[in-house]
Structure 1
Amino acid sequence: MATGYIGDIRKLVGHMPLILDTAGGILLNDRHQVLLNLRTDTHNWSLPGGYMEFGETFAQTCVREYKEDSGLDVEIVRPLKLFDQGIFAYPNGDKVQTITQLFLVRKVGGELLSAATDETLRLDYFDFGKLPPLLNTQTEQMLAFAEEHL
């Protein structure tokens, strides 16, 4: 079950479809590969990032979620694009439309997680042309945008 702000909302509305704000980051290594995390909930890959907590900005959400999902401290280099057509159904039946602000980020500290957490099974860098099974269409769109514009 979801915790924090999303968990509180789900207690009130059950499985009703929600529109939720999210933020994610593109982190490239020196080989121009992008960092992705293998998710525990869906067992496919996504960009580190996640849902905004009440009172946060998109940038604050990206930095916080990046640390939670990857173990890395990042700073925002610049906003890339807002994606607003992300409709997704979780395995438990929860449906969401995610409005995601995508950022280019730079590592400023921390280390990649060395063990699985409650959100991330593992992390790896991938070539844009050789991506693993992705979370959803919005993730595909964000990575295609990054490949074309970075």
Structure 2
Amino acid sequence: MPVGYIETIRSLVGHMPLILNTAGGILLNDQHQVLLNLRTDTHNWSLPGGYMEFGETFAETCVREYKEDSGVDVEIVKPLKIFDQGIFTYPNGDEVQTITQLFLVKKVGGQTLSTATDETLELDYFDFDKLPPLLNQQTQDMLAYAAKNV
């Protein structure tokens, strides 16, 4: 599996719009709150998850990215829904349409990060009806779906 697939593609196409596959997970605590991460690139909140590397499945992407973003080892409980209207422009000018497979996940190990990383500034659990400023409309749509279906 090539490392840095997205970076390689961006080096070839610059900021042109790309369609990219992503995966994210809904992890709930005992109070039915959802874990979110405060992102370093946009300084708003999103679900732990991220871009698929070449050769990965959506499930493998979710598990890997969840660990990277949160420090938590997760296992897939079930797929929830695919979201395909995620058009977003990053602060650096990269434009994407993300096709995101959302999963319900459960914690099987690890612990939430206690210090900032290059992708995550902070982690916290939130009530579905008291969410912080979110990354984009697709994140809002995923959380609204999860609030009614998990």
TM-score interval for Structure 1 and Structure 2 normalised by the shorter chain: over 0.9
* Structure 1 Cα separation of the partners of residues 70 and 5 of structure 2: 21
2:79 corresponds to: 79
Residue identity matched to 2:106: R
RMSD after superposition: 0.7
Query: For 1:32-111, what aligned pairs fall within 5 Å after superposition?
Result: 32-111=32-111
Structure 1 unaligned spans of 5+: none
Q: Mind listing any 5+ residue stretches in structure 2 that lack a counterpart?
A: none
| Whole-angstrom distance in 1 between the partners of 2:85 and 2:129 | 23
> Residue 51 of structure 2 aligns to which amino acid in structure 1?
Y
Listed one character per residue, the Cα deviations across residues 53-85 of structure 1 (whole Å, up to 9, x for unaligned) are 000000000000000000000000000000000
Q: Distance in 2 between matches of 1:121 and 1:70?
A: 10
- What residue identity is the alignment partner of 2:4? G
Residue matched to 2:5: 5
TM-aligned CA deviation for residue 104 of structure 1: 0.1
Q: How many residues align?
A: 148
- 1:33 is matched by which residue type in structure 2? Q
Amino acid at match of 1:74: V
Normalising by the residue count of structure 1, what TM-score does the alignment of the two structures yield?
0.98
SS in 1 for 2:109: strand
> Which ranges of 4 or more aligned residues in structure 1 deviate by more than 2 Å?
none
Equivalences for residues 116-131 of structure 1 within 5 A: 116-131=116-131
Q: Which amino acid letter does the alignment assign opposite residue 32 of structure 1?
A: H
What percent of counterpart residues are identical? 82
Give the partner amino acid of 1:97. Q
TM-score, length-scaled by structure 2: 0.98
User: Secondary structure of 1:128's partner?
Assistant: coil
